[in-house]
């Protein structure tokens, strides 16, 4: 058996470009409260720590906690109904996952997106390849806590010693470190190479196919 036979992927910014749908749902929510809209660039910088934090950063500074909670409910409702309008896989991702599956790698996705959305998106785009898909829920602490990664490893019947983590952000780097597995950064997502280097990525790849060479 190969040493690293398990690949844990982040979702947003790693497998899927979800930025436009997230921005649309943020701005729909803001408009309902007569708040100014956010740009795609702003939302891109706000992503990574879960939808609760995304909303906290998107609403005007000083918005009270109850209002933030109301906005979060509205965001989740809108996003659940519109999360596949503009979302698409990054070039080369379907081919990468197919090759990994053919070579008997165990593949999981962990995300700070809410769990129902993670499971629906993975099922729709990658159903035949992803054997465990875990998002934020009451039972699993969000990243950078290692809980989602450890749960994925358990579901796959694998261990940290057999796994690598692939993601695009500083949150992913910290998550991998907390779970005790190597982190491979990708440059096509929501953060640039400098962020990945500053956060200790063991390797950085520019195209999905490069992952196969590393493995």
| Residues with active-site annotation | 10
Pair of tokens at residue 207: 């195209």
User: At a CB cut-off of 8 Å and minimum separation 6, what does 117 contact?
Assistant: 79, 80, 83, 135
Q: What is the dihedral of CA 55, 60, 63, 65, to 10 degrees?
A: 10
**Quick check: 28 and 38 in contact, CB under 8 A?**
no
DSSP three-state, residue 208: coil
**Quick check: 215 and 4 in contact, CB under 8 A?**
yes
């Amino acid at each position: 058996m190969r040493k690293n036979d398990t690949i844990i992927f982040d979702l947003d910014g790693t497998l899927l470009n979800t930025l436009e749908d997230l921005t649309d749902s943020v701005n729909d929510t803001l408009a309902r409260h007569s708040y100014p809209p956010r740009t795609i660039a702003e939302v891109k910088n706000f992503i990574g720590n879960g939808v609760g934090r995304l909303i906290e950063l998107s609403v005007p500074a000083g918005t009270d906690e109850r209002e933030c909670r109301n906005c979060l409910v509205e965001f989740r409702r809108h996003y659940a109904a519109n999360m596949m309008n503009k979302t698409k896989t990054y070039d080369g991702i379907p081919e990468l996952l197919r090759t990994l599956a053919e070579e008997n790698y165990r593949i999981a996705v962990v995300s700070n997106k809410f769990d129902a959305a993670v499971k629906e998106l993975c099922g729709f785009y990658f159903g035949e390849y992803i054997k465990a898909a875990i998002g934020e829920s009451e039972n699993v602490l969000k990243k950078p806590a290692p809980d989602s990664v450890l749960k994925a490893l358990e579901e796959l019947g694998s261990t940290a010693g057999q796994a690598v983590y692939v993601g695009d952000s500083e949150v992913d780097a910290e998550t991998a470190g907390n779970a005790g597995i190597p982190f491979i950064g990708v440059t096509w997502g929501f953060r640039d190479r400098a962020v990945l280097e500053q956060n200790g990525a063991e390797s950085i790849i520019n195209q999905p196919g490069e992952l196969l060479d590393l493995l």
